[in-house]
Amino acid sequence: MDGMSVFSFSAGTQEMYDFMDHNPEIYGAPFPFVNDARNIAKNSRMISINSAMAVDLYGEVAADAMGYNQQSAVGGQLDFVRGAQWSEGGKSIIALSSSFMKNGRRRSKISLQFAPGTPVTTPRGDVQYIATEYGCVNLKHLNMSDRVRALIGLAHPDFRDQLTQEARDAGLI
């Protein structure tokens, strides 16, 4: 389906629906087809961009829940991560802001480990690129200590010293 926009569901304005209606460049199909990594991989130079709620220093991604607090569904993140990497010339990117504000206090989205109960959406072995406003790093072929250093470099500057110390204390660097 190279060159086509493929989707499973849509929600928007009447203008968007009018654009989509009978548009030969758009193809709608059920989730089992659209989210099948084998089908995704058939698209050359496929680039997947997925978001995350948090990343730990191993490079694991939490995208649907933090602790026991479910925020969304898993969706097709892992399917698109794998399918894009299997695609000829493809890449997979997990994009997130390095921090967020809660109750007037900045908190890091990159941490030594997730809160208890946090499910891993995308395992570290599947993660390729991680991007924040501080850069983008390909983790795929890095050893553990280099992964940890790279992720600390993507963290908000307010947390880099703390993350470095936590990584040292844990024996990761």
pLDDT tens per residue across all 173 residues of the chain:
777 888 998 999 999 999 999 999 999 999 999 999 999 999 999 999 999 999 999 999 999 999 999 998 888 999 999 999 999 999 999 999 999 999 999 999 999 999 999 999 999 999 999 999 999 999 999 999 999 999 999 999 999 999 999 999 999 99
Check residue 74 and give its pLDDT: 81
d(C-alpha 141, C-alpha 124), whole Å: 11
d(C-alpha 58, C-alpha 75), whole Å: 22
d(C-alpha 113, C-alpha 111), whole Å: 5
Domains in the chain (CATH in brackets) are 1-34 (no CATH), 39-169 (3.40.1080.20)
> Position 103: which residue type?
N
Tokens representing 40? Answer: 């995704």
Check residue 3 and give its pLDDT: 78
CB neighbours (10 Å) of residue 91? 16
Contact call for residues 98 and 108 (beta carbons, < 8 A) = yes
d(C-alpha 5, C-alpha 2), whole Å: 8
Pairing of strands 91-95, 47-51: parallel
CA distances 29 to 18, 32, 62, Å, are 18, 8, 27
> CA angle at residue 59 from 58 to 65, to 5 degrees?
105
Q: Where is 107: in which H helix or E strand?
A: strand 105-108
> CA angle at residue 146 from 82 to 99, to 5 degrees?
75
Check residue 158 and give its pLDDT: 97
Check residue 154 and give its pLDDT: 98
Give 114's DSSP letter: P
Question: What is the reported pTM?
Answer: 0.90
